[in-house]
Every structure is written in structure tokens, then in C-alpha cells.
Amino acid sequence: DFLKALRENNNREWFTANKSRYQAEHAHVVEFAEALLARMGQHDQLVPMTGKQSLFRIYRDVRFSKDKSP
């Protein structure tokens, strides 16, 4: 639901107003990634990382991009 709403309202004002929603959803994704990494680690040798380290940032990094749009 959050990502669908974000797609429809992809602007900083909406995101700021819904940041608590993002943080709650992000926590669920981090928990899932932690569990997935633990299960995968039982079967394969993985580079040690946390669930949080395995995710990309929500903000687009435009420092080196000619297109600065969101």
C-alpha cells in the first residue's frame, strides 16, 4: 500500500507527511531481509551484512546525474 501511494504521490511533501508510514514499512522489510539472510546463510557462505545494509536508500542519489528529477 505504501509503495503504491508513493508511486502516485512521488514528491517530498507527501513523503514528509507520510514518513512514519515509511518507517513502519521499512522496519518490516528490514526484518524480512534479516530472516532471509539468516536462512540463506544456512545453505551458503554469505558476505556478512545486516538486513538494513542489504537495502537501497529511498531517496534517489542525484549527485552525479544530469537528470535531477525525482
Domain boundaries, the chain: 23-70
> Distance of CA 65 to CAs 6, 54, 56, 70, Å?
22, 23, 17, 11
- If one counts every other C-beta atom within 10 angstroms of the C-beta of residue 21, the result is 14
Q: How confident is the model at residue 69 (pLDDT cuts 50, 70, 90)?
A: confident
Q: Which pLDDT value is given to residue 58?
A: 74
Tens digits of per-residue pLDDT, 7-60? 999 998 999 999 999 999 999 999 999 999 888 888 888 777 788 888 777 777
Say which residues have a Cβ less than 8 Å from residue 37's Cβ, sequence separation at least 6.
46, 49, 50, 51, 54
Backbone angles phi, psi at 5, to 5 degrees: -65, -40
Mean pLDDT of 63-70: 77
Q: Which pLDDT value is given to residue 3?
A: 92
pTM above 0.85, yes or no: no
